[in-house]
Amino acid sequence: MMKRIILGIDGNGSREIILLSSAKQGSVIVVKEDGPANGYKVEAHHSKVDDLGPVYLSEMAEDAAWDAASHVFGMIGSRSYKNAVDHGFWGDTDRPDRNDAEAIALMHSELSEMLESVRHDNPKSEKIPDFTNTEEEAADLLIRFFDWAQGRGLRVAEAVRAKMNYNKSRPHKHGKKF
Ligand SMILES: [Mg+2]
């Protein structure tokens, strides 16, 4: 079932910003120009709020957006975890388990592949030709991360929200040289 959450209005106050999310399809931000009387006209789909320029979110909408993020992360996590279990990454026993250091090292390896992709001027991906190699490696990194996070029950969206809030209070470059 499709969940519909009105996040707010855009900077001009003329368009509604709506988050549509479903377990099957994940989430998408939609901008609508017309009112519901004639049915909404979808102007544009966006994968993230930042694409839209200035957007004002109410506190409630902010909570709803983070709830949706948690939902989407959980969807990616459960699917990547199942595929990893099915392919033996969590062992060939009835009790899936793995070495945490090995899982983290594999995430490092995806970052190294991303670096090599950039060093080679970001060629087209051979496995998913509609995408660049950098995009493919970014996907690999996230798939490996969400698989592991799911297996270990990490509260990823909640921690991201808490840390982003904390980061707002930190000094320039977080007080470091870079
Ligand atoms: Mg890779």
Write out pLDDT tens, residues 73-111.
999 999 999 999 999 999 988 888 999 999 999 999 999
**55 and 10 Cβ atoms separated by less than 8 Å:** yes
State in Å: Cα 82 to ligand 1 middle: 19
State in Å: Cα 159 to ligand 1 middle: 26
> What values do phi and psi take at 17, rounded to 5?
-110, 120
State in Å: Cα 137 to ligand 1 middle: 5
State in Å: Cα 23 to ligand 1 middle: 26
Two structure tokens written together for 65:
């957006």
The percentage of the chain sitting over the pLDDT mark of 70, rounded to a whole number, equals 66
Q: What is the average per-residue pLDDT within 98-127? A: 97
pLDDT at 55 over 90: no
pLDDT range class, residue 2, cuts 50, 70, 90: low
CA 139 to centroid of chain Cα atoms:
10
Is pTM beyond 0.85? Reply is: no
Half-sphere exposure of residue 114, counting CA atoms within 13 Å on the CB side? 15
Beta pairing partners, 5: 19
State in Å: Cα 136 to ligand 1 middle: 7
Beta pairing partners, 16: 9, 32
Among 12-16, 34-38, 172-176, name the one with the lowest average pLDDT.
34-38
pLDDT tens readout for residues 26-46: 555 655 554 443 344 445 555
> What values do phi and psi take at 46, rounded to 5?
-135, 150
State in Å: Cα 40 to ligand 1 middle: 40
State in Å: Cα 164 to ligand 1 middle: 27
State in Å: Cα 133 to ligand 1 middle: 9
